[in-house]
Amino acid sequence: MHTFLLAAVPTTLEWSPKVAVVMVLCNVLAIAIGKFTIQNPSTGPAMPSPEMFGGMSLGAVLGTTSFGHVLGAGVILGLASMGAL
């Protein structure tokens, strides 16, 4: 049973600059989506450089970048399984 479970685990992709670019693009996309969909993006503590993040608060930036990492992990795994990365 143990060897069957090991065979079921897919191989993971090693880090490369291509993987980093995909993750950065997914985070930028998530920040853009959050900027236009969060009702009050500037409510709460401000970021040190709010103009870099579109005036969004710390909570909004943390939420959108968390979503960006989940999105990026899915995109990276999908691209890797297709052989594109």
Question: Which tokens go with 68?
Answer: 């960006």
pTM, to two decimals: 0.78
Structure tokens at 14: 């090693």
User: Tens of pLDDT along the chain (85 residues)?
Assistant: 566 666 666 667 888 999 999 999 999 999 889 888 888 877 778 778 777 777 888 888 899 999 999 999 999 989 988 888 8
Helix (H, G, I), strand (E, B) or coil at 46: strand
Query: What's the CA gap between 80 and 63, in Å, rounded?
Result: 26
Q: Please tell me the distance from the alpha carbon of residue 76 to that of residue 85, in angstroms, as a whole number.
A: 8
Say how far residue 46 (Cα) sits from the centre of its chain: 21
The number of helix segments (H) and strand segments (E) in the chain equals 3, 0
What would the pLDDT profile of 35-48 be if each residue is shown by its tens digit?
Answer: 888 888 777 787 78
